[in-house]
Structure 1
Amino acid sequence: MNWLIITIALVSAQGGFIYGLDTGIIATTFGHDSFRIKMYGGPFINPVLSGAIVSCYNAGQAVGGMSTGFLADKFSRKYTILIACILTIIGSVLQCAATGVGMMIAGRAVAGIGCGQLLPVVPTYLAETAPPSRRGFLVGLQGMMIAIGFGVANWIGYAGAFAQGDAQWRIPLAMQLPLPLMLSVLVFWLPFSPRWLVMQGRHEEAKAVLLKLHHDKDNVAASDDLVEQEIVQVREQIALEREIMGGLNWFAALRLMFSRQYIRRVFTATLIISWSQLSGSAVIQNFQTIFYGIIGFTGRSALLISGIYGMMGIIGQIIYLWVVADKWPRARTLWSGSAVLCSLLVICMALSAVYGKPGSSQDGARAAVASIFIYSASFAIWFNALVWVVPTEILPLFMRSKGLAFAMTFKAVFSIILSQITPIALTSIGWKFYAVFVAINLAGGLFFFFCLPETGGKSLEEIAELFGDGLATEHLGESAISGEASAEQHEIALSGEEKRIPSKV
């Protein structure tokens, strides 16, 4: 990787930080008495209104997710990031200026639309600019920034406890503004995705971008050959996809998403992305102050615990980037991670059942909190990044942005359901509610073990073969793939004179 690729990845991955901060800040906001007095009319917990505030944010994500596929293909990946940043800025202003629960809900909904666009478009952009051997690391940067966003949100909320009156929650909510403002400016510096440029017929621009991304000052000839091969492969893959659809129009792609040939990939991508909700991680993050109250920690103590909880995700994400990314097999990581999360939730439930009663040992309550901390770190190691890496790999180019948008919409639907019932369930049945996520993690582990093929280290076009599609560059022969294709072979490929009919599932 050269410094340009790393810089592009770090800049665009700030979208993950925006999502993490915007999503995580509401957990500590609920913990301030001044917020509850302003919104609920008293310092009490209102499960219905709390659920509504979180649900409307997730509903906004659903709307944003549904719009991303069209925007990313029509206006480019990078300008979709700009649109999302503008929406999160508007939503943040509404939240920190809220005079009542209605304005707060509206602000959360608008910010949710922006975050719903950022979540699928950033990994799409990263996957399409990353070299295959480092795609897990670079796309995983979004997961890293999400974890950092969560962690920073928790500490911002804790710091707010030292302010007075409404400033306790208005200042933390205003902290959502600086990063999208900065990214709105930096996005103009980012190059267009080379695969998006090829889809638009702008082949010379795509080649220029790839030359910058793959430039190797020590071996210029090798990097030039790599670019030539990649351009051929991408152009031929798009040509094959045009054959399948009779063109690359947006509605044809939507129809094919649910065809026999592609439904498996769309379903798998949707399930994996939805895992950030179904595994229980988001529920614990958003309503952790309620859980801490159940086992005896309230007020500033609960906010301090939230801050420490956020740091565990960052530690886990660092372990992922340096130990797991592009080193562990993708499928094995997901099913083994499901087993780990399932075990930790069982431990948390057992400790909460015994020590979650008034007058119980504080040591037991602290052990329950410790199990939640380990859960946060484990989710970051096994899932937080991979739930974005694998879906971007398994979806073909022509439906990548649309498929991720569809998956993001389903994730938001699950979020709406869980965010509405979780505060009510936690106040009614407490720790027993986590049994739902034990069962879900067990089922998910079985699915990943038996149904998910290994995609690590393969090009985005080669992964299509794992699901029964034809590989466009096969007709070049083994020499083309190994970098020994002649100029004449490249010219034939670029002119589209040779075609290979995709295999059918």
Structure 2
Amino acid sequence: MFERQAQLTEPKSANRIIHSGTRLRRSGLTVYSSCVFAVPRQYLESSLSTMPGPLIHDEVISHTKPALINYVAAIFAAIGSFLFGYDSGIISSVISSSYTEFQAYMNYPSDNVTGAIVSVFAGGAFFGALLAGRTADWIGRKRTIQLGSIIAIIGCTLQTAAINVAMLIVGRFVAGFSIGVLSMIVPMYQAEISPPHARGLLSGMTQWMISWGFFIANWIGYGCGYLKSTAQFRLPLGIQIVPAVLLLFGMFLLPYSPRWLAMKGRHEEGRATLIKLHGGRRNASISAVEAEYAEILTQIEWEKENLSSNYWDLIKNKPNLHRTVCGCLVQAMCQWTGVNVNNYFGPTIYSALGYTGHTTLMINALQSAWGLVVTFIFISFVVDRWGRRQPLILGALLLAGCMAMEAGTSSHFANSEYHNSSMGIAGVAAVFLFSWFFSFSFGPVSWIYQSEIFPMNLRALGTSVSTASNWLNNVIIAQITPYGFSSLSWKYFFVYTATNLSNCVICYLLFPETKNKTLEEIGLLFGDTNVRTPPTHSIDSAGIEQAAVTDIKPPGEPGQHHIEYSGDKAV
């Protein structure tokens, strides 16, 4: 018999959970883990208003190194993000004046029709993102990615075979719907298979692969511009079917999210998947695996008993409202940086800066290559060190300066008959600098942040609504930008100078830092209640290790408790 006393703090409302090296019994569920068990159920029921935080100390999990399978799964799933970048990027080439075959075949579409071709894609993505919020929980993250790839194949086929503008618009809507699904689910899947200190890198693969998509699209768009048949636009639109098919069949080889498996009660699969994500049985730290799975299970079980999963829950209490506001705002602000003004209308901007013909397409392609390199540097070396908050605040300030610079250089060409080539170069430099700063801030961080701030019961819905916010604002910008340029000319860039300055203030006031925390720990940052004490070690030789006390003191009991351990039981 071993005796130990613990002096504990006294929270306003909490329950008592004792941890050691044996098993956790809770709600009729027995979990073999490095966390032991909960004390009588009435203690839990006396404090259901308090969200239990992590059962284990972050030292156990937060230093787990990512395994090869983490990288493979994150990169391969991000083929969905590649489709996002490619389908978004290729349209700027196809609708440009340089694509004379497209212009003639589609009867020289007006600005209104061109705007519809661009914006209907984002409209489809809006609805796709909302659908994925439900399917992510119903059929899982993995199957939802495959669903998105099937829809992408259909959309690609319709666009490639389009015989008129109406068919092209339908194809763009279907393709957009698929991208809405994929843009919502891919970063969430990446976040749920990533260890905390590498989550920025692995979730940041979303933006990196979006950049790859834009890069490939712009260079293919540049090359196909020289073709002299309908292949000029059918070939670049049709190429995207290749990654869609690859994603569909390749996902069969990748693991499910262990958190989704736990949520569905498939515990043996969930634990086996977590071992695989920790490097397999030969390389995994079993104590870390057990600790992490116990933490996941406890969070899920508590949420199942005490929380629901519907849209009202996203706003019905202060912590969830804060999360939802942050998730929707980070995506809306991403659009109001002006990134898609440059992406969708890049050739138009370069024409306004004095460049013509295929030169505009080449500059667009070079700009996408620049963004690709910078994004890789950021997700590899910066985001998990600097975090999320600082890059957003600094990035917003720098992006405001770039938009002011674009306005200044464009005004020279609008107001002068004698064009200075140096001003044209300065204008292109402003766009390149914008790409750099965007890739160091809102580009990757918006996808990382929205995928990690919601609790398990609301993660799919919250990420869905946040992604839908991105696409809703994308639609608005795609619709107003042609009119903005025609009505305000170069002054239109100042709109985004103002929005970026606003973004800076919002990020400073509202956004907590989430780096290096488990998905279950992040809830504390948004106001979920938890009281913890540091873990102790090696209680006795019977194998009870790393005991800790969490969420302490049932109502009506004193703050000091006497605990007796005998083997794997507490008496």
Q: Do these two structures clear the TM 0.5 threshold for a shared fold by scoring above it?
A: yes
Aligned to 2:90: 25
Which one of the candidate residues 38, 45, 69 is aligned to 1:4?
69
Per-residue CA shift, 1:183-239, capped at 9, x if unaligned? 10101111110000111011111110111111377765xx10011111111111112
Counterpart CA distance in 2 for 1:182 and 1:243 is 40
Match runs of 1:172-211 below 5 Å: 172-211=236-275
SS of 2:204's equivalent in the other structure is helix
Per-residue CA shift, 1:274-331, capped at 9, x if unaligned? 2331111012101111112222222211111111111121021122123312011311
Extract unaligned runs of 5+ from structure 2. 1-65, 556-571
Matched, 1:286 2:329: no
> For residue 331 of structure 2, what is the amino acid of its counterpart?
I
Aligned to 1:134: 198
- Out of 349-358 and 325-334, give the one that drifted further: 349-358
Which one of the candidate residues 125, 136, 156 is aligned to 1:72?
136
- Out of 411-420 and 68-77, give the one that drifted further: 411-420
Which one of the candidate residues 44, 56, 80 is aligned to 1:15?
80
- Work out whether residues 353 and 413 of structure 2, in 8 Å CA contact, stay in contact via their aligned partners in 1: yes
> For residue 150 of structure 2, what is the amino acid of its counterpart?
I
Q: Larger radius of gyration, structure 1 or 2?
A: 2
Aligned to 1:244: 306
> For residue 151 of structure 1, what is the amino acid of its counterpart?
F
Identity %: 33
Counterpart CA distance in 2 for 1:427 and 1:113 is 29
Counterpart CA distance in 1 for 2:497 and 2:440 is 18
Matched, 1:310 2:368: yes
Counterpart CA distance in 2 for 1:89 and 1:376 is 29
Per-residue CA shift, 1:211-270, capped at 9, x if unaligned? 1111377765xx10011111111111112222432xx5xxx4322101123111011011
Equivalent pairs counted in the alignment come to 485
Match runs of 1:347-386 below 5 Å: 347-356=405-414, 357-386=416-445
Is the alpha carbon distance of 1:456 and 1:492 closer, same or farther for their aligned partners in structure 2, counting shifts above 3 Å?
A: closer
- Work out whether residues 192 and 258 of structure 2, in 8 Å CA contact, stay in contact via their aligned partners in 1: yes
> For residue 413 of structure 2, what is the amino acid of its counterpart?
Y
- Work out whether residues 338 and 441 of structure 1, in 8 Å CA contact, stay in contact via their aligned partners in 2: yes
> For residue 102 of structure 2, what is the amino acid of its counterpart?
F
- Work out whether residues 316 and 379 of structure 1, in 8 Å CA contact, stay in contact via their aligned partners in 2: no
Deviation at 1:490, TM superposition (A): 10
Is the alpha carbon distance of 1:71 and 1:148 closer, same or farther for their aligned partners in structure 2, counting shifts above 3 Å?
A: same
Matched, 1:479 2:535: yes
Matched, 1:438 2:497: yes
**Which structure: greater helix fraction?**
1
> For residue 500 of structure 2, what is the amino acid of its counterpart?
N
- Work out whether residues 47 and 424 of structure 1, in 8 Å CA contact, stay in contact via their aligned partners in 2: no
Is the alpha carbon distance of 1:491 and 1:113 closer, same or farther for their aligned partners in structure 2, counting shifts above 3 Å?
A: farther
Counterpart CA distance in 1 for 2:467 and 2:534 is 38
**Which structure: greater strand fraction?**
2
TM-score by length of 2: 0.81
- Work out whether residues 371 and 435 of structure 2, in 8 Å CA contact, stay in contact via their aligned partners in 1: yes
SS of 1:282's equivalent in the other structure is helix
- Work out whether residues 296 and 358 of structure 1, in 8 Å CA contact, stay in contact via their aligned partners in 2: no
- Work out whether residues 146 and 247 of structure 2, in 8 Å CA contact, stay in contact via their aligned partners in 1: yes
Match runs of 1:27-42 below 5 Å: 27-31=92-96, 32-39=99-106, 41-42=107-108
> For residue 444 of structure 2, what is the amino acid of its counterpart?
A
Deviation at 1:453, TM superposition (A): 1.0
SS of 2:518's equivalent in the other structure is coil
Counterpart CA distance in 1 for 2:473 and 2:527 is 30
Counterpart CA distance in 2 for 1:360 and 1:244 is 67
SS of 1:198's equivalent in the other structure is helix
Counterpart CA distance in 1 for 2:482 and 2:105 is 19
Deviation at 1:176, TM superposition (A): 1.2
Matched, 1:154 2:218: yes
Extract unaligned runs of 5+ from structure 1. none
Deviation at 1:13, TM superposition (A): 1.3
Aligned to 1:452: 511
Structural RMSD (CA): 2.5
Per-residue CA shift, 1:150-177, capped at 9, x if unaligned? 1111111001112112211111111111
